[in-house]
Amino acid sequence: MTLKLIAGYSLAAATIAVAAVFLLPRQADGIVLGAALVILPVVWLHLLLSARVIRPLKSVAEAARRFTEGDFSVRVMGVAGGEIGELASAFNSMAVHLEAKIQELEASRSQIEGILQSMTEGVFVVDPSGRLTLINPAAQQILQVGSGPNALFKEAIRYPEFHLMAEQVLKKGYPAVQDVELFTPMERNLRVYGTRCRSAGGEPSALFVIHDVTEFRRLEQVRRDFVANVSHELKTPLTVIRGAVETLLEGALNEENGGRPFVELISEESERLGRLVDDLLGLAQIESKGMLLTKQQMDVKRFLSEEIERHKGRAKAAGVSMTLEMKTPLQTLMADREQAGRAVSNLLDNAIKYNRPGGTVIVRASVRDGAYRVDVEDTGIGIPPEQIGRIFERFYRVDKARSRETGSTGLGLAIVKHVMEAHGGFVQVESRPGEGSRFTLLFPLV
Ligand code: ADP
């Protein structure tokens, strides 16, 4: 404003002086000369003011305006010397510092934003007026929230557990931890942490962090079920053994041949216990992360013949015949001999166990669709379609009553499945109740 005035005054004075020279009657050359002496310094003063003060100050003012509009790269150029030069250089160094600070703040803001976006934990913040001031994609996905920040918290997140937690955190300032179960769109177990934080405006807000612990809870349940199942499986033969021993001790031992059935029972049940422990150890070994397969090129015909040979005795006792069909020119397969043997052996075991007298078991090797296939086909009792999805679970048996007679452990197919996964392959099954089943091991061709 002052500058404008000074400039205005100097311009007005120059104008008046010029006008005086031309309007006054030319009475004397002295007057003209006097007027010229007035005009020239005033004009010179105006030009000087404009070049040294007004224009530089205008550049500073323009730079300041652009800076406030967000152009942080702006600098005052071409102003040097004097107080205004100092002002320009102070402005420039302030601009450099502010630009660096703003870039730093922006970098840390985008880093925090990036972290929030990529976190698997859900995060959201509720302010005291009940609005969501922040919500990350994980929280939106877990809680099925369509709206973003600024939505009303109670409308966006409709689970009452969160409303109570927010009240507790905001009003009392206590941190809160709660397990929340969601049932739609699918069942989920959440562990939610709520704590007080300061929002950008300085007022206290409630910060929530959500951990999805569904998988963790499921594994916990699997572990609990497994321990319960193992205990039950071990207890059953032990109870039978204890009963038989008691009967023997109570006198059956002294009767002629009276003790034999009980001793046989003890022998059967201890064999069953042994099988169970072997299968459990096998399963633990396969499941342990450290299990490394020792793969080698196996001669498939020899490998399958050996496995069939090992089951000949049991097959004969059950009245079941076994044959091998090699339907591939590819004679070798890359696999772990011991583990692959375990898988084939379990399938042969079942094919005999769940067969009928006079039935057959065909073992077939073939190559199709980039996989080496080993089929074990039987003419046995088959599996009801609704049970097929469960037979690879540990301890699952279709016919619980029959499993006592067959001495089965319910672990055989779980072992097969794990062995195949360790090889990068898988196991398939097709079955018709009353007609038979076909289990197929698919080894990848490498
Ligand atoms: P198990 O020790 O009981 O044989 P598995 O895990 O090998 O345990 O098999 C699980 C269940 O799947 C068996 O109890 C049986 O009911 C069914 N099953 C497996 N193989 C066959 C088969 N070849 N024919 C009919 N049922 C079978």
Q: How far apart are CA 325 and CA 365, in angstroms?
A: 6
Establish if 184 belongs to a structural domain: yes
Regarding whether 277 and 304 lie in a shared domain, the answer is no
Give Cα separations from 12 to 9, 17, 50, 194 (angstroms).
5, 8, 14, 71
Q: What lines the ligand 1 site, CB under 6 Å?
A: 346, 350-351, 354, 378, 380-383, 391, 396-399, 403, 408-414, 437
Regarding whether 206 and 138 lie in a shared domain, the answer is yes
Regarding whether 325 and 200 lie in a shared domain, the answer is no
Establish if 109 belongs to a structural domain: no
Regarding whether 315 and 190 lie in a shared domain, the answer is no
CB 137 within 8 A of CB 146: no
Per the confidence metrics, is the pTM higher than 0.85? no
CB 83 within 8 A of CB 51: no
| Domains held by the chain: number | 4
Range of the domain at 189: 119-212
Regarding whether 145 and 251 lie in a shared domain, the answer is no
Q: Say what the pLDDT of residue 434 is.
A: 94
Going from the Cα of 391 to the center of ligand 1, the distance in angstroms, rounded, reads 7
Going from the Cα of 403 to the center of ligand 1, the distance in angstroms, rounded, reads 9
Going from the Cα of 381 to the center of ligand 1, the distance in angstroms, rounded, reads 10
Q: Say what the pLDDT of residue 239 is.
A: 93
Give me the chain's average pLDDT, please: 87
Q: Which residues of the chain have pLDDT under 70?
A: 1-29, 289-291, 402-407
Of the three residues 212, 238, 259, the one that is the final residue of a domain is: 212
What's the CATH number where 234 sits? Answer: 1.10.287.130
Ligand 1 pocket test, candidate residues 362, 376, 413, 435, most atoms within 8 A of CB? 413
Regarding whether 421 and 327 lie in a shared domain, the answer is yes
For 131-141, write each residue's pLDDT tens digit.
Answer: 999 999 999 99
